A and B are shown apart, each in its own frame.
Chain A
Amino acid sequence: MLSALPEAISILLSLEGLLVLTLGTILGIVLGAMPGIGSTVAVAIILPFTLTMSQAPAIILLLAVYAGSVYGGSIAAILINTPGTPQSAATCLDGYPMAQRGEAGLALGWATVASVIGGLVSAVVLIFAAPQLAALALEFGPIETFSLILLGMTCIVSVSTGSVVKGLLAGMIGIFLSTVGGDPILGEMRFTFGNWQLFAGFNLLAVVIGVFALSEVFIRASNQISTVSELVSFNGVVLPRMKMWKGRVRNLAKSVAIGNVIGVLPGTGAATAAFISYAEGRRSSRNGGGFGKGEPDGIVSSEAANNAVTGGALVPTMALGIPGDAITAVMLATLTLHGITPGPKLVEDNPTLIAAIFAGFFIINLLLLPLGMLLSRVAAPILRIREAFMMTAIVILCVVGIYFVRGNPFDLLVMGGAGVVGFLMRRQGFPMAPLVIGMVLGPTLELTLRQGLILTDGSFPAFFTGHPIALVLGLAAVAALLLPLVRSMRKGTVG
């Protein structure tokens, strides 16, 4: 594949290639930055256009819009506390407090640099080590995945700002919400109470947008309105200076690694990576104590990891023909449309195309930095409009965004309900990030648990005896859960 790189780069640097790369990234950032409109909708909007294009530009356009929208999601998360996607939910935790302190530009600067580095490293890894990483993906069967998800669940404790008990409770509610609908093994209906709209379950994005964006609007409606000062003081991205990186590089490297590895494992996804990385950052970073109060390392952990996933997810997609997430599934289908069969021979048979995709991904990440800075400068005046207009526009955009996720108006009712419940819970000091984690990880946790039980004939201990990877991850999960509890019990401040 490396030998095809020069030819691939010449495709990318053609007029069409550059146009697709730049416009795709800009469009992705703009759409992602709109509250309520996330990657799924951004890709759905661009899809019809890719159908008439030739294969390499089509895939690169999808990739540019995708990567751009993941980055753009952090803008809305930081500036107005409304993540457009679950993977930016962890970015809110520290990004928004920084913005409230008046450091919105710097918070976005950290997010930008972390995203770019996360993306670039994962692109390099992709180009040089895709086959090896694909082999790693095959090691992760249902039982190993179960243990990884279990470890992921322990992040609930780390992201529970305020009360751990309330965080865990919110997490349980999230997991419960994810069990509504069809049972994954037998297909029987649970908690639908005869309503066919619930057969498909509660849509994750509808709940996320409800509890974050919509409830934020309600909270602002219940507060004193500031008519003089603007919503956030923001004049564009401020890049962190060199000396600010002191003591943060290790955290960055770790986050990128976590994102890469988790991205490679199909069925886990960017939100999982962002949360696990955030929890790990809080545990090991020397600035861990400030997490949740506007600590740059929190933003770096989340953003570096969720952008590294984008590259990681391409590994199983391109090397095995197995999509890593919903967006890479769209890319595979697009390839099929052009007469290319995804699968183990994909790289061998189409070296130029794959090299172009990988190199294109590298260039997209390079473009994020200047384009992000440019667009944020353009967008800054928009953010100065009065709160009234901003809040109204947010609700309307959320309706549009959630409608297009599945084309189902029922999801709007779910979003409205989640908004009210989220508002009530947030007022009582319930953190919402654990609810999102529960809902993201819940389905995989149950599915892999029950798959594992089928494979081991119903023996739970056999999960760990015959599977060394599962054992290590399982022990890590137990440690991650118990250590903070023990520590806080010693201090006598449980909850």
Chain B
Amino acid sequence: MQRVTNERVLVQIGLLIVAVALFASTFGQQFSSADLAQSPMFFPRVILILWMGLGLIALLQSIRSDERTTKIDSWPRMAVVLVAALIYTNVVASEGFFLPSVGFAIVCLLAFGIRRPWLLILFALLVPGALVVLFNHTLGMPLPTSRFTYLF
């Protein structure tokens, strides 16, 4: 109970801090226009002020209410899938599409409880492989390729 309350409040405080930091950053830059409404920061500042105001109201509401955040049934699975997805989206640019996709598919399928090895390998190789064959070698609009070969 204590933990879920905390998560709710923490996320809201996080959103508020981001807004305040962004708002503060708007005063660090110099812009050419002297006219207030045509300053590049005029519109973002208005939005950020609204964000901060609404964020504060939402935070107060959260502190007062005793609503619960949905329970996470499996922290490890959630963490594995989340981290794997983040790594995956980060390395496609440098390592190409195929290899990271195979890696991600294996990790993700394992996390979701697929245990039959041949099924796992088949899916992890076939889906990205088919996409590479389709886009890189049939349609001529290539996905990023690895450092080893331009073929995948």
Interface residues of A (CB under 8 A from B): 44-45, 48, 163, 165-166, 168-169, 172-173, 175-176, 179, 183, 185-186, 188, 190-191, 193, 214, 217-218, 221-225, 227, 386-389, 391-393, 395-396, 399-400, 403-404, 409-410, 412-413, 415-416, 419-420, 423-425, 427-429, 442, 446, 449-450, 453-454, 458, 495
Q: Check A388/B109 contact, CB under 8 A, given A186-B40, A427-B69.
A: yes
A441 to B5, CA, bound (A): 33
- CB contacts (< 8 Å) of B33 on chain A: these are 186
Check if A453 sits within 8 Å of B54, measured CB to CB.
no
Can you report 8 residue pairs joining A to B where beta carbons are below 8 Å apart?
A45-B139, A172-B50, A183-B40, A392-B127, A395-B104, A396-B105, A403-B144, A419-B85
- CB contacts (< 8 Å) of B141 on chain A: these are 44-45, 48, 404
Check if A188 sits within 8 Å of B40, measured CB to CB.
yes
Check if A221 sits within 8 Å of B101, measured CB to CB.
no
Check if A403 sits within 8 Å of B143, measured CB to CB.
yes
Check if B57 sits within 8 Å of A165, measured CB to CB.
yes
**In chain B, what residue has the closest Cβ to A458?**
B37
A417 to B89, CA, bound (A): 9
**Of listed B8, B25, B81, B101, residue having the most chain A CB within 10 A:** B81
Q: Chain B, interface size: which category? A: 35 or more
A162 to B41, CA, bound (A): 32
A224 to B72, CA, bound (A): 8
**Of listed A221, A424, A446, residue having the most chain B CB within 10 A:** A221
A-B residue pair count with CB separations less than 8 angstroms: 177
A446 to B37, CA, bound (A): 11
A224 to B43, CA, bound (A): 44
- CB contacts (< 8 Å) of B112 on chain A: these are 221, 225, 386-388, 391-392
Check if B74 sits within 8 Å of A221, measured CB to CB.
yes
> What is the interface of chain A mostly: helix, strand, loop, or mixed?
helix
Check if B54 sits within 8 Å of A386, measured CB to CB.
no
Convert B5-41 into 0s and 1s, putting 1 for each residue whose CB lies closer than 8 angstroms to a CB of A. 0011001100100000010010000011101011011
**In chain A, what residue has the closest Cβ to B86?**
A416
Q: Which of B44, B105, B131 contacts A179 (CB 8 A)?
A: B44
Q: Check A458/B35 contact, CB under 8 A, given A169-B54, A388-B113, A395-B104.
A: yes
Interface residues of B (CB under 8 A from A): 7-8, 11-12, 15, 22, 25, 31-33, 35, 37-38, 40-41, 43-44, 47-48, 50-51, 54-55, 57-58, 61-62, 67, 69-70, 72-75, 77-78, 80-82, 85-86, 88-90, 92-93, 97, 101, 104-105, 108-109, 111-114, 123, 127-128, 131, 135, 139-141, 143-144
Interface contacts beyond A221-B111, A386-B112: sample of 9 additional A-B pairs, CB < 8 Å, sorted by A: A185-B40, A186-B32, A186-B38, A191-B22, A214-B85, A225-B113, A388-B108, A450-B43, A454-B38
Check if B73 sits within 8 Å of A223, measured CB to CB.
yes
Check if A173 sits within 8 Å of B73, measured CB to CB.
no
Q: Check A222/B15 contact, CB under 8 A, given A188-B32, A227-B113.
A: no
Check if A409 sits within 8 Å of B92, measured CB to CB.
yes
**In chain A, what residue has the closest Cβ to B31?**
A188
**Of listed A175, A428, A429, residue having the most chain B CB within 10 A:** A428
The 8 A-B residue pairs whose C-beta atoms are closest, nearest first, are: A409-B93, A388-B112, A416-B89, A222-B78, A183-B40, A221-B81, A169-B54, A412-B89
- CB contacts (< 8 Å) of B105 on chain A: these are 392, 396
**In chain B, what residue has the closest Cβ to A41?**
B141
A175 to B43, CA, bound (A): 10
Check if A412 sits within 8 Å of B123, measured CB to CB.
no
Check if A176 sits within 8 Å of B104, measured CB to CB.
no
A42 to B112, CA, bound (A): 30
Check if B40 sits within 8 Å of A395, measured CB to CB.
no
Check if B51 sits within 8 Å of A392, measured CB to CB.
no
Give, as a whole number of angstroms, the nearest-CB distance from B131 to chain A. Answer: 6
- CB contacts (< 8 Å) of A214 on chain B: these are 85
- CB contacts (< 8 Å) of B97 on chain A: these are 399-400, 403
A10 to B73, CA, bound (A): 61
**In chain A, what residue has the closest Cβ to B135?**
A400
Check if A169 sits within 8 Å of B15, measured CB to CB.
yes
Check if A392 sits within 8 Å of B108, measured CB to CB.
yes
- CB contacts (< 8 Å) of B82 on chain A: these are 218, 221, 420, 423
A415 to B72, CA, bound (A): 23
Check if A425 sits within 8 Å of B11, measured CB to CB.
yes
Give, as a whole number of angstroms, the nearest-CB distance from B71 to chain A. Answer: 9
Q: Which of B7, B41, B54, B139 contacts A190 (CB 8 A)?
A: B41
Q: Check A173/B90 contact, CB under 8 A, given A186-B31, A427-B70, A428-B12.
A: no
